[in-house]
Structure 1
Amino acid sequence: MKYHTKRGFAARTGRLLAVIACIWVAAAVALVAYGMRMPSQPADVAVIFGNALDDTGAPKPVLAARLDVGVRCYRTGQCPAFLVSGAIDGPGLNEATAMRDYLVARGVPADRIAVDDQGDNTLATAQHTLAYLQTHRLSRVLIVSQYYHLARARLAFERVGIARADIFAAYPRRFQLRDVYSSWREVPAYAVYALRLWVNPDARPISFRPMLYLMSLFS
């Protein structure tokens, strides 16, 4: 009897896990499709989300691909200005300033680039973007990130007060194997953002910057 009970429990658990996996995969596909279908139109400012730097402080391929999207956007006249937003990963590893330098080296004037090195996460970048738009009396924004991240970025931008009709998007047309994992990880991240911003649209970003904390101990 015990054997059959354990076997039945294992079967039910297996079915439950299979259902959860199917829902998870479907949600990931939906987020990816949503991001890919977001309109890409001329905007007042392109907001480029940060990502990892290599040991020399130069953008790694994922970030470089985003910046290349921005360069093309500038050269075609679709985005006359930029807000580069990223975190500080350690001594000499400032994502935002590295992004600015990358754009400048490819012909974007430095005075067209605003630097936000407090963009630890998507919500922080959204709030800083709203402040930038209000300060410069602008409205139309082009989000530049990976396609699987665009749905959550748009959600954050909308919830901080940027009009849905003024939010556009662009992403690198390059697939990497790591995108599969990133798309899977985006499902709980989107769910947390949706719930948290539904409960409190004015929620403050939650972030911990370990490298800055360690640096402060020795400064």
Structure 2
Amino acid sequence: MSRRLIRFALRVGVATALCWFVAAVLICLKGMTAPYGDADIAVILGNALEDDGTPGPILVARLDTALQCHRAGQCPTLFVSGAIEDPGLNEAEAMRTWLIDHGVAQDAVVVDEHGNNTLASARNAIAFMRKHGMRRVMLVTQSYHLPRARLAIERAGAPVVYGTYPHHLRAMDAYWTFREVPAYAVYFVRLALNPDARPVSFRPMLFLLKLLSKFG
């Protein structure tokens, strides 16, 4: 390989890395500055569970954030949306149990077991909102995930979208923020080309762990 080609490849690599970094920062800032207000319903997006079926740290942080909103009277209905990974690992049911154990009335929690990804959760939430005449929705997830979640639910037809997130940061947030760059880009393009695009689930870390387990 010639020196000129090497220099060109290095420049492209540096430019790509810089653009990716700037995009990640902008996504994070967009999430942190999401509007906040009184909502008819809060949509809590699922995340990984512990091996015993209880919410993991990220999900507990989201649930606690939603609980504060509910106790303040700003989110009277809590819509918990997640996937069923394996028998005994039902994200939505785990969230429901956690909220009820922390004092939320059973009839204030709506369970969506078909939130296999952000787009599916958004569409399921909108279907429930339309059925019950709701207009204002509060999204509850991590700050870096809020822009993509807002994009999904706005494209699904939400009239008013607010957002809130756990305010304590973790080291792994850096990885997830950078992961959001291509994830947001894919959502933006797919929904721009086809607002009714089919939800597709792909979890890179889970895929990698399963792949490695085959060679373990």
Instruction: Output the TM-score relative to the length of structure 2.
Output: 0.92
2:15 corresponding residue in structure 1:
19
Structure 1 moving runs of 4+ over 2 Å: 207-210
Match of 1:142 among 120, 138, 160: 138
Match of 1:198 among 189, 192, 195: 192
Match of 2:168 among 168, 171, 174: 174
More helix by share: 1
Structure whose alpha-carbon radius of gyration is higher = 1
Structure 2 alignment gaps of length 5 or more: 208-216
- Per-residue deviation, 1:208: 7.2
Alpha-carbon distance in 2 for matches of 1:201, 1:11? 41
Amino acid at match of 1:64: V
Alpha-carbon distance in 1 for matches of 2:48, 2:99? 16
Alpha-carbon distance in 1 for matches of 2:202, 2:10? 37
- Per-residue deviation, 1:7: 1.5
1:183 corresponding residue in structure 2:
177
Match of 1:158 among 127, 131, 154: 154
2:106 corresponding residue in structure 1:
110
- Per-residue deviation, 1:187: 0.3
- The correspondence of residues 8-87 of structure 1 with structure 2, limited to 5 A, is 8-87=4-83
> Aligned to 2:114, what secondary structure does the other structure show?
coil
- Per-residue deviation, 1:207: 3.1
Task: Kindly tell me the number of residue pairs found equivalent between the two proteins.
Answer: 204
> Aligned to 1:177, what secondary structure does the other structure show?
coil
> Aligned to 2:36, what secondary structure does the other structure show?
coil
Alpha-carbon distance in 1 for matches of 2:158, 2:38? 16
Instruction: Output the TM-score relative to the length of structure 1.
Output: 0.91
Alpha-carbon distance in 2 for matches of 1:63, 1:172? 10
Amino acid at match of 2:155: R
Alpha-carbon distance in 1 for matches of 2:13, 2:51? 40
